Amino acid sequence: MNNIFIVTPSYLISKKRDFAAGIRQLTRLGVNVVNPEFPEILPAPQEKAEQIHAAFADPGVDILLALRGGYSAMKALPFIDFDLIVKHPKIIAGFSDLSALLNPIYERTGLVTLHAPMLINLGTPTAFTQQSLVNAVKGYPQKNLFKGVRFKVYQPGSATGILKGGNLITLTALLKTDWEIDTQGAILFFEDVDEKRHEVDRYLTQWILAGKFTGIKALLLGDFRGIRSRQIYDILAAQMELDFPVVHCPNIGHVANKITLPIGAEVELNTERRQLLIRNMAFPGGTPLTSSG
């Protein structure tokens, strides 16, 4: 049985019933939540880091799962002890605001992290989301991350690189800091939620002006709730030559049917075969989740 520790690097869950629903679903999946008490006080940035350290160092914990996203995970970065994480490798999972932790943890430790649903998303998960999460925690026996997924190809081709990315506005805030993503050789993915088109234009233009698309191997556009993927593609195509594969996958982002993606895994995108295939991955050990069917 997996032991999961719920960490609170971003916001709190406001309703206790939503927290309890997520705990119940994890129990149905055959896991034990080490700290099932409803958190009512948001830790300060240093306390968030200390909570993460305690969970990594605890031999009785297999997985760190974020409570929810929101904002402020990046404030914990100056206090994170990456050497401690290297000494106690475990799975850490979340998305949205957690992008600010998942990518730096991979880049500073070499440990694959999971861009995955959080406790707040697990109260009533779809079968698709649950199956993808279980596949991830088992160590990805199904290597094709796009199996059963419909996606749109804007620039065809094939490419192999390290999978990195997440929430666009969160990762943009890390540019020109000590924790910005190294995009060289990356297959990069972005998603966002309820941002206006001109705001997304501004974020993407900043990435272009900062040279962050130079040297990437491919780009995956996730869901941008309220903005069509074609509009996102056009923002990029109007400003730069897209000499790498570009696809839109509607199952990346703040969506009901969500793929759990391994940040830090070497993956191969092949638009003709319609595959995003894991080629190599330094994944933390642990006993697998079991689906209740």
**Residue 199 among the catalytic residues:** no
Sorted by sequence, the CB contacts under 8 Å of residue 19 that are 6+ apart come out as: 13, 38, 39, 67, 119, 120
Q: Where are the alpha helices (DSSP H) in 29-149?
A: 45-57, 82-87, 99-109, 127-137
Q: How far is CA 145 from CA 25, 102, 127, 133, in A?
A: 23, 18, 15, 11
**Residue 96 among the catalytic residues:** yes
Sorted by sequence, the CB contacts under 8 Å of residue 156 that are 6+ apart come out as: 245, 271, 272
**Residue 47 among the catalytic residues:** no
Q: Which of 96, 99, 132, 229 is an active site residue?
A: 96
Joined together, the tokens standing for residue 142 give: 């199904």
Q: Which of 99, 132, 229, 254 is an active site residue?
A: 254
Q: Which of 72, 107, 132, 191 is an active site residue?
A: 191
d(CA 191, CA 68): 16
229-237 vs 197-209: helix crossing angle, rounded to 10:
40
Q: Which residues are known catalytic residues?
A: 96, 191, 254
